[in-house]
């Protein structure tokens, strides 16, 4: 686990969205490990993340604060409560928005991923502009999380925004954006099975 690279981190974050298959204790353990891992032992990850070294130092300090733990606990609680239904309460939407606007890139990163559970309206429409703004985030990890979530939320209107990431300076960001676009295009062309075929 100490040799986490960018793909590894994305995998850890996506664990937020599969709590139906995991116990609450397992999910909490994964996120607590993410918050406590010593980033200084992973220089390749640091160099490829797109995060300035000063921000990494700030990030490491912030992860030791009560504020960070409270934020993580709230995000995990939202995912556990809404993974199955996709219906977020106004307070839960507000929590996601607050975290997506955090000065700490890790909060923006995890909130963008946790927003995957906001599949139903009106939460999806409310969260969309904040996720779109994160496609322009200076940190590549955040751009990837936002692109992945937009692809999963199923709104093909965001395809033009995702296409702008296909020329991203970070190849992994471009690949995630392409995968999200492919999902949306497939969904847009898949017949609605809820409609009865014409006789």
Quick: pLDDT tens for 119-151: 999 999 999 999 999 999 988 889 999 999 999
Q: Is 53 a domain residue?
A: no
pLDDT of 37 strictly over 60: no
Q: Is 43 a domain residue?
A: yes
Cβ-Cβ contacts under 8 Å for 66 (sequence gap 6 or more): none
Collapsed DSSP state (helix, strand, coil) of residue 141: helix
pLDDT of 19 strictly over 60: no
Q: Is 55 a domain residue?
A: no
DSSP H stretches of helix in 24-139:
24-36, 43-48, 53-62, 66-82, 90-100, 105-114, 123-134
Q: Is 194 a domain residue?
A: no
pLDDT score, position 153:
94
pLDDT of 43 strictly over 80: no
Question: Which phi-psi region, left, alpha or beta, contains residue 50 (left: φ > 0; alpha: ψ -120 to 50)?
Answer: left
Q: pLDDT tens across 60-103, in order?
A: 788 888 888 888 899 989 998 988 888 999 999 999 999 999 98
pLDDT score, position 8:
44
Q: Is 148 a domain residue?
A: yes
Mean pLDDT of 35-42: 39
pLDDT score, position 27:
41
Q: Is 196 a domain residue?
A: no
Look-up of token digits 């955040």: 142
pTM above 0.75, yes or no: no
* Count: domains in the chain: 1
Instruction: Residue 121: give the domain boundaries.
Output: 6-48+60-188
Residue 48 or 184, more confident:
184
């Amino acid at each position: 686990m100490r040799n986490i690279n960018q793909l590894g981190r994305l995998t850890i974050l996506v664990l937020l969205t599969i709590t139906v298959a995991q116990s609450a204790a397992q999910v909490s353990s994964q996120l607590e490990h993410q918050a406590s891992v010593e980033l200084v032992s992973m220089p390749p990850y640091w160099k490829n993340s797109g995060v300035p070294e000063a921000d990494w130092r700030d990030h490491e300090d912030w992860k030791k604060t009560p504020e960070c733990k409270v934020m993580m606990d709230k995000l995990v609680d939202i995912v556990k409560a809404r993974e199955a239904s996709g219906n977020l309460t106004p307070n839960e939407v507000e929590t996601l928005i607050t975290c997506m606007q955090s000065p700490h890139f890790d909060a923006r990163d995890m909130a963008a991923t946790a927003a995957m559970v906001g599949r139903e309206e009106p939460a999806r429409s409310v969260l969309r502009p904040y996720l779109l703004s994160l496609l322009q985030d200076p940190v590549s990890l955040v751009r990837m999380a936002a692109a992945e979530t937009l692809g999963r939320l199923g709104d093909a209107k965001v395809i033009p925004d995702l296409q702008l990431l296909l020329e991203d300076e970070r190849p992994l960001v471009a690949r995630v954006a392409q995968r999200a676009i492919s999902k949306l295009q497939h969904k847009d062309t898949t017949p609605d099975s809820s409609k009865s075929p014409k006789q």
